[in-house]
Amino acid sequence: MGAEIPGILKLKCSVKRYQWGKVGKDSRVGRLYANNSKEEIRGDEPYAEFWMGTHESGPSYAVVPVEENGGLPNGGLQRANGPKRNYCDLMSLKDWIRRNPHVLGDKVLQKWGPDLPFLFKVLSVAKVLSIQAHPDKDLAAILHKREPGVYKDDNHKPEMALAITEFEALCGFVSLEEFKSVVRNVPEIIEVVGTASAHQALNIREDDGDKKLKEVLHTLFTKLMSTSKIIISEVVLKLIRRLNIAREVRQLTDKEELVLRLEKQFPGDVGVLAAFLLNYVKLNTGEALYVPANEPHAYIHGECVECMATSDNVVRAGLTPKTLDVQTLCSMLTYKQGFPEILRGVPSNPYTVKYLPPFDEFEVDRCILPREKSTTFPAVPGPSVFVVISGEAVMRLPFSEELVTEGDVIFAPANTAITVETTSGLNLCRAGVNSKFFE
């Protein structure tokens, strides 16, 4: 089959109703999914994640043309300069790409095979997600082989969260200076890990070397996370009593206020104590946080666009009713210390900002297009997925066009320029393969 130029391909996407998601119409994920699927929002149900991609845990479906005899013409491709057909059938995006692998572009196909290398999501977070980390490729292969029911694939999962509202997260271990401050000022942690570990932490210095610093943090964190639930719940109770008394005589720190919030969501959980050891990150709209493999993190509240390598592997150790794997989490972490890098993006044009994390699989563009304006996403050598966060616009390829509105998701093949024009205003996000991969 020759490499036809496809027209605009709309996708029907999946939703995840995890308990931490925002409920009903308060959830942007709920609104996007309702518009995308033409389903009613259920007012009492959480809508946590909107998935756009090929992962089997939440696949997207290509809306493809059907011939009168019921067959799929041209591998499910709509020729851009061919006759219009009625769209009335669905094919999984994974299968559609396998039938039309040229849509990925040569370099992407050569590197990752006939599949989309990234998974794109929108998250609506009402309650904290688990303290978790995602394995690197080597560990992912081991975990998938050992427990395929828990670890669904053998891929790594570096990720990036781009805030579309104010967004809170825990990410990475605090600096050495803050680590010592926590050990000095949170007696409940000393009660759990013991005075020997605390003494070791307080006496370590930067010039002891990276390896020693990581060993001390590894030992203390593992002791904390491995302590019995009974002891932890008693100590957390003491912590909450102490903080409630303290707030009557002084202003609590941001981290202390956060810990009180987390405890209300997960009473007696070890994650309440562990939060003291992690950086508390507050993103403004338009700021992004990237998380490499083997780094601890937990999203707390807000809404974001998230992109990652195509994987659903999560190792959890607290703040969740789901399965915990404390031993694996504590052994896999890098134990790097310091505040994570915040990306503010690089303008591509007056309306579009590009976010480039240090991972080959993906990048994200955020386009805020005012009324009566247009912009062009230039042709790139890899595939793109667009999601309309709000507003509406006309998307144009050289030989086809489509009106898109909130909740519409579009797949654009490699080497395809797309012009977007709006009369009412548009908030649009795009995921694609990292531009640096093609350099």
pLDDT in tens, 186-210: 999 999 999 999 999 999 999 998 9
Give residue 312's pLDDT: 85
Give 170's DSSP letter: E
Q: Provide the annotated binding site for Zn(2+).
A: 132, 134, 159, 297
Closest by CA to 348, choosing from 420, 425, 423, is 420
Average pLDDT, stretch 405-426? 96
**Where does the pLDDT of residue 166 fall: very low under 50, low under 70, confident under 90, or very high at 90 and above?**
very high
Q: Provide the annotated binding site.
A: 132, 134, 159, 297
Give residue 88's pLDDT: 59
Of the candidates 28, 31, 316, 430, the residue annotated as catalytic is: 316
CA distance linking residue 289 with residue 287, whole number of Å = 7
- Helix (H/G/I), strand (E/B), else coil: 404: strand
Q: Are 430 and 367 in contact (CB under 8 A)?
A: yes
Give residue 421's pLDDT: 97
pTM tops 0.85: yes
- Does the pLDDT at position 73 exceed 70? no
- Does the pLDDT at position 260 exceed 70? yes
pLDDT tens for each residue of 113-148? 999 999 999 999 999 999 999 999 899 999 989 988
Average pLDDT, stretch 352-369? 97
**Where does the pLDDT of residue 71 fall: very low under 50, low under 70, confident under 90, or very high at 90 and above?**
very low
**Where does the pLDDT of residue 67 fall: very low under 50, low under 70, confident under 90, or very high at 90 and above?**
low
- Does the pLDDT at position 78 exceed 80? no
Q: Is 316 a catalytic residue?
A: yes
**Where does the pLDDT of residue 72 fall: very low under 50, low under 70, confident under 90, or very high at 90 and above?**
very low
**Where does the pLDDT of residue 2 fall: very low under 50, low under 70, confident under 90, or very high at 90 and above?**
very low
Q: Are 16 and 49 in contact (CB under 8 A)?
A: yes
Closest by CA to 286, choosing from 161, 199, 377, is 161
pLDDT tens for each residue of 278-332? 999 999 999 999 999 999 999 999 999 999 999 888 999 999 988 889 999 999 9
Q: Are 240 and 268 in contact (CB under 8 A)?
A: no
Give 351's DSSP letter: T
